[in-house]
Amino acid sequence: MAAEADKPCEWGGPLEGLRVLDLTRVLAGPYATQSLGDLGAEVIKVEPPHGDDTRNFPPFVGQESHYFLALNRNKKSVVIDLKQEAGKDLLRQLVAKSDILIENYRPGVMSKLGLGYEELCAINPRLIYCSISGFGQTGPLRDKPSFDIVTQAMSGALSINGERGRSPVKIGLPIGDMVGGIYGPIAILAALHERSLTGRGRLIDISLHDGLIGMLGYLAQLSFVTGEDPQPVGSMHPTIVPYGSFAAADGYIIIAVLSEAFWPKLCRALEHPELAEDKRFSMLPDRRQNRENLEEIISRVIRSKTVAEWERRLEDFDVPHAPILSISEALSHPHALARDMVVTADHRNIGKISMTGRPIKYEGAQQTALTAPPALGEHTHAVLRNLLGLSKDELKALSDGGIIVDGQ
């Protein structure tokens, strides 16, 4: 009985019972809705007849795009042609039965379709309506087309990425888009709390540009304080030394001396304890002033051993460090696997696929398994029948008229 009592219960997640209409495509919006799905919300992805643009992004597994598979788990696909009045009417009926709508069209598109916040709020006053766009719904750049690299460039983030003295380099992760997938759910959860108090929904305006400027953090403050622009420093830190990537005999290792307590430990690990007492390097301001000399000394020592040898030695001396893993190495690392950050699911068209797992864990409870991303229109008939009560004949008439597409 005790063992049974200690067994975690399985539940849908903290957002179980909430319904999200997902009118997003590509990355920022789908990442936001996927996060809500991870937390247990029912996510209905409303796609045009040709589907989300990323369904056509190579490479493919069978006919399924790797890109679409990465951002659309735990969703139902419903195909509705919103360019036709009957399609808009179907969406309005779904809005009446939903809690949240997320869209990432360019500003003004949804209003032109008659599906803006004012129109849909009149149907469902409790609706939380989240618009995600490159530069937001207001301001001089409101109508500027934007993708990840545009946002990186306009936010200043791209200017600080890369090696010293060389051209700026795009950040490898599409953080300019993903920031919308992070801030969007935060804003929605806050609006849900507000709705629990007021009974009314809220219009949310998420700008990818705003999000990346908000993430500049101490770098923005550095510019405010010094009046100077931070410059690219590669994998190193602009103000903390040593902190960055060093070449070992067979690869690269990261060393991060964020506080003074780690500096003498690193010196002992390097078998150069005298560096801790060297006036050029004894304190952070000294190390910053003599950065090039110190980094050259450390680089020369690190080149003498392999990454594995340095891992063991730095671990012994409690120095923050890490090998630089490839994506496949990171995904197969025992820690990632122990934390269920790689899972599998059965896809209708291509069978078992691997996916990244939920990054948020809840102690004492086991969430239901993630479902694979849907095939185009996989749930059209089921959703419209179960939520709107449409008959078989009504569904056939809508299909024959090109209003909906069922992928079954």
Parse the chain into domains and list their residue ranges. 2-215+337-405, 243-247+252-323
Residues contacting 196, CB < 8 A, separation 6+: none
Q: Is 385 helix (H, G, I), strand (E, B) or coil?
A: helix
> What gap in Å lies between CA 95 and CA 381, rounded to an integer?
17
List pLDDT tens digits, range 71-109. Answer: 999 999 999 999 999 999 999 999 999 999 999 999 999
The more confident residue out of 386 and 234 is 386
Would you report the helix, strand and coil content of the chain in percent, each value rounded to 5?
A: 40, 15, 40
Active site residue 250: no
Condensed to tens digits (0 to 9), the pLDDT of residues 284-306 reads 999 999 999 999 999 999 999 99
Q: Are 45 and 73 in contact (CB under 8 A)?
A: no
Distances (CA, A) of 244 to 150, 240, 255, 320, 338: 27, 9, 6, 11, 27
CATH fold match for the domains 2-215+337-405 and 243-247+252-323: no
Which CATH architecture group holds 243-247+252-323?
A: 2-Layer Sandwich (3.30)
Of the residues 38, 52, 148, 177, only one is catalytic, namely 177
Question: What Å distances lie between residue 202 and 43, 99, 121, 196, 274, CA to CA?
Answer: 19, 11, 9, 12, 61
- Position 256 confidence tier, pLDDT thresholds 50, 70, 90: very high
Average pLDDT (401-407) is 92
| Separation CA 319–CA 338 (nearest Å) | 24
Looking at CATH, the fold of the domain delimited by 2-215+337-405 is given as: Rossmann fold (3.40.50)
Q: How confident is the model at residue 110 (pLDDT cuts 50, 70, 90)?
A: very high
Enter the tokens of residue 235: 């994998």
pLDDT over threshold 50, residue 263: yes
Q: With a cut of 70, say whether residue 57 has pLDDT above it.
A: yes
How far from 173 is each of 148, 169, 170, 179, CA to CA, in Å?
A: 9, 12, 9, 11
- Gap between the Cα atoms of 378 and 76, Å rounded: 7
Q: Which pLDDT does position 236 carry in this prediction?
A: 87
**What is the pLDDT confidence band of residue 4, given thresholds at 50, 70 and 90?**
very low
Torsion sign (Cα): 135, 223, 255, 167: positive
- Kindly indicate the confidence band of residue 7, based on its pLDDT and cuts at 50, 70 and 90: very low
> What pLDDT sits at residue 167?
87
Look at residue 8 in the predicted model and tell me its pLDDT.
Answer: 53
Residue 64 has which token pair?
Answer: 């399924």
The 10s digit of each residue's pLDDT in 148-199 is 999 999 999 999 998 888 888 999 999 999 999 999 999 999 999 999 999 9
- Work out the percent of the chain whose per-residue pLDDT is above 90: 89
Mind listing the pLDDT tens digit for each residue in 347-393? Answer: 999 999 999 999 999 988 888 999 999 999 999 999 999 999 999 99
